[in-house]
Structures are given as structure tokens and as C-alpha cells.
């Protein structure tokens, strides 16, 4: 399962609208780097036969069979890292660089 925060979903819908890509699902992908960390990609795409499909916060998400295991359990958020600088972040327990936030 892959989930989006409300802020991430809002930004994804806005990006789709601005790019005239309404109706296309969001593709999430990951590859493993030589050091074991993960490299992420995202964009709007057509669904392929072997893709897995999820829905989170009203956004359709597709993942290839190759990326599915690497992304299972991931949460995508959209946060302000510095004043005025927003970015998607991937909270993924399958990534060795991920640490669980403490509250």
C-alpha cells in the first residue's frame, strides 16, 4: 500500500490540472542505487498491463511490478523544507536512509 498525505494529494491534483493531465494516474517508481539507497521518480502516465493500482486521498497511483516491492508501505508528503521551498518527500521503510520520525 502507498499513501499520500492530504497536502501531497492537493499538490499532485494541482500539477495535473496545470499540465492538462487530469485523468492520468500518478506513476511512482524507485530503483536501488549501488549504495543500497533508493532513487525515486514520479510523473503522470498511462496504466500498463502489469501495473499495480492504488488510490489515496482521491489520487490514482500506479506502480510497475519492478518498483512495487521497493515502494510498499511508503507515504508521500509535500512539505516546506525552507521558507518558500516546498518539496515532495518519500517516507519509505524499505529505504535504508529512512528513519522513523520521533515525536
Work out the mean pLDDT of the chain and round it to a whole number.
92
Listed in sequence order, the residues at least 6 apart from 40 whose beta carbon sits closer than 8 Å to its beta carbon are: 28, 29, 30, 90
Strand 59-63 relative to strand 26-32, pairing: parallel
What the chain holds in terms of domains, given with CATH numbers, is 3-91 (2.60.300.12)
pLDDT at 36: 87
Q: Which DSSP state fits 7?
A: H
Q: How far apart are CA 6 and CA 60, in angstroms?
A: 14
Across 8-15, average pLDDT: 96
Asked if residues 14 and 86 have their Cβ atoms less than 8 Å apart, the reply is no
pLDDT at 102: 52
Across 32-59, average pLDDT: 94
| pLDDT(56) > 60 | yes
pLDDT at 103: 53
Across 65-85, average pLDDT: 94
Reported pTM: 0.87
Q: How far apart are CA 32 and CA 53, in angstroms?
A: 21
Q: Which is nearest to 28 in space by CA: 89, 80, 82, 86? A: 89
> What percentage of residues in the chain have a pLDDT greater than 70?
95
Amino acid at each position: 500500500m502507498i499513501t499520500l498525505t492530504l497536502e501531497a494529494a492537493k499538490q499532485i491534483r494541482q500539477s495535473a490540472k496545470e499540465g492538462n493531465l487530469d485523468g492520468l494516474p500518478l506513476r511512482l517508481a524507485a530503483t536501488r542505487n549501488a549504495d543500497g539507497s533508493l532513487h525515486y521518480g514520479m510523473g503522470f502516465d498511462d496504466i500498463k498491463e502489469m501495473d499495480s493500482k492504488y488510490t489515496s486521498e482521491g489520487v490514482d497511483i500506479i506502480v510497475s511490478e519492478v518498483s512495487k516491492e521497493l515502494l510498499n508501505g511508503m507515504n508521500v508528503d509535500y512539505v516546506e523544507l525552507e521558507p518558500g521551498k516546498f518539496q515532495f518527500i518519500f517516507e519509505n521503510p524499505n529505504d535504508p536512509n529512512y528513519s522513523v520520525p520521533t515525536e
